[in-house]
Amino acid sequence: MSVIDTVKEILEASTQNPNRGDSVSESKGAYWCHDCQERILDVDVEGEDAPDCPACDDEMTFERSAGSTGCAC
């Protein structure tokens, strides 16, 4: 196998995505419990209400991700 064939195979493999075309919901932030340092991504929470912390049962606070406008970080 030549060097060119090897490079070609690497480039082809790096552009193949098994999830191409699948609908992916993008996270807009996460819910945090600052006392317990627990974090839950917003896409992992069902419903519109803030979840309770799994460690202390207090309501968690939503904070936007650094990549979104108006970051609360």
CA distances from 28 to 3, 33, 39, 47, 48 (A): 43, 17, 13, 15, 13
**What is the per-residue pLDDT for 62?**
93
pLDDT digit string, tens, across residues 9-60: 877 766 555 555 555 668 888 999 999 999 999 999 998 899 999 999 999 9
Please, are residues 34 and 20 in contact by the beta-carbon 8 Å criterion?
Answer: no
Instruction: Compute the distance between CA of residue 43 and CA of residue 31 in angstroms, rounded to an integer.
Output: 10
Instruction: Give this prediction's pTM.
Output: 0.55
